[in-house]
């Protein structure tokens, strides 16, 4: 794949060979990932690869090493060091849950809710992001809602360090702690609570994609025998934090489109409990309003 000595390698050949290797390794999007890795190695964008005819031998060697790691199911974002989320670019790597495109829908809903508070009440909205991980949702909210007062918390030490990198200079109040006890001083004052909690049942270990199972922190993945332990904690904590009429949004597994909302319905303090689908039509996140 790397040519001999210092002989440049044809870009099309590199991409074709890399795509085949990634496909054989079970990567879900082999052509996309092959192109992203080559763009990363060349310091360009995937869209501008068409302007490259040949790749220098040393760059081809570096590319080969990254393709080998990706074929072994190391996350693409760990190899490039970045993840795109809505309109921001995040730093990610070992020790933090890589933000998924599906979570952008939850962030978009929270942004709409926060903007509505600002428009109707003429004040900065107060938002809390529990289980912030890389800080993706909190960063998107502060980026798209001018003046928003955003608080975030993460329990895992390594993930918290990544969140610090991504939220530095944004004004977000980031804390290292447990979602179950965070932000007591905000009780009854928050407009929007967001959370992408762990939601995979412990018994589903073998079904989890290697990129997540072997590289994402388990604290961000697994949540009891039915995957809903963290959701139950969220229902209680959000009820304490929110003002009357405030709203909460939380991601869940696509198999939990009934069970996850039922946690909030059974709690008795919530109204307008609804579930929302992602762009593929799969149940993806729930929302609820604290009863007046």
154 is in an annotated binding site: yes
Tally of CB atoms within 10 A around 171: 10
Q: Which residues of 130-141 are buried (b: 16+ CB within 10 A; e: fewer)?
A: bbbbbbbbbbbb
Token readout for 108 is: 């978009």
d(CA 125, CA 151): 11
166 is in an annotated binding site: no
292 is in an annotated binding site: no
CA angle at residue 223 from 219 to 229, to 5 degrees?
130
d(CA 152, CA 138): 7
d(CA 179, CA 233): 8
Tell me whether strands 270-277 and 283-290 are parallel, antiparallel or unpaired. antiparallel
Exposed, middle or buried, 148 (CB in 10 Å: 0-12/13-18/19+)?
buried
Please report which helix (H) or strand (E) contains residue 139, including its range: helix 136-144
d(CA 149, CA 153): 14
197 is in an annotated binding site: yes
CB 186 within 8 Å of CB 125: no
Helices 157-167 and 136-144 sit at what angle, rounded to 10 degrees?
A: 20
CB 160 within 8 Å of CB 224: no
CB 167 within 8 Å of CB 148: no
d(CA 156, CA 176): 8
Detail the residues annotated as belonging to a binding site.
Answer: 154, 196-199
Detail the residues annotated as belonging to a binding site for S-adenosyl-L-methionine.
Answer: 154, 196
Detail the residues annotated as belonging to a binding site for substrate.
Answer: 196-199
């Amino acid at each position: 794949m790397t040519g001999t000595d210092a002989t440049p390698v044809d870009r099309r050949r590199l991409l074709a060979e890399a795509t085949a290797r990634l496909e054989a390794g079970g990567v879900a999007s082999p052509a996309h990932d092959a192109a992203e890795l080559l763009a990363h190695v060349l310091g360009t964008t995937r869209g501008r690869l068409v302007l490259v005819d040949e790749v220098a031998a040393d760059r081809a060697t570096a590319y080969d090493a990254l393709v080998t790691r990706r074929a072994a199911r190391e996350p693409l974002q760990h190899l490039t060091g970045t993840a795109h989320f809505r309109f921001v670019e995040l730093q990610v790597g070992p020790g933090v849950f890589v933000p998924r495109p599906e979570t952008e829908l939850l962030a978009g809903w929270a942004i709409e809710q926060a903007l509505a508070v600002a428009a109707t009440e003429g004040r900065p909205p107060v938002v809390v992001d529990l289980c912030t991980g890389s800080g993706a949702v909190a960063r998107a909210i502060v980026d798209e809602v001018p003046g928003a007062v955003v608080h975030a918390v993460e329990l895992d030490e390594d993930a918290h360090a990544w969140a610090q990198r991504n939220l530095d200079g944004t004004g977000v109040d980031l804390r290292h702690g447990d979602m179950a006890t965070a932000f007591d001083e905000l009780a009854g004052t928050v407009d929007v609570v967001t959370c992408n909690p762990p939601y995979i049942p412990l018994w589903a270990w073998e079904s989890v994609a290697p990129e997540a199972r072997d590289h994402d922190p388990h604290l961000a993945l697994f949540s009891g025998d039915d995957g809903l332990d963290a959701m139950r904690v969220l229902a209680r904590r959000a009820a304490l934090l929110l003002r009357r009429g405030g709203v909460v949004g939380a991601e869940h597994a696509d198999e939990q489109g009934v069970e996850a909302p039922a946690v909030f319905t059974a709690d008795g303090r919530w109204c307008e409990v609804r579930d929302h689908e992602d762009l593929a039509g799969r149940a993806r996140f729930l929302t609820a309003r604290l009863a007046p």
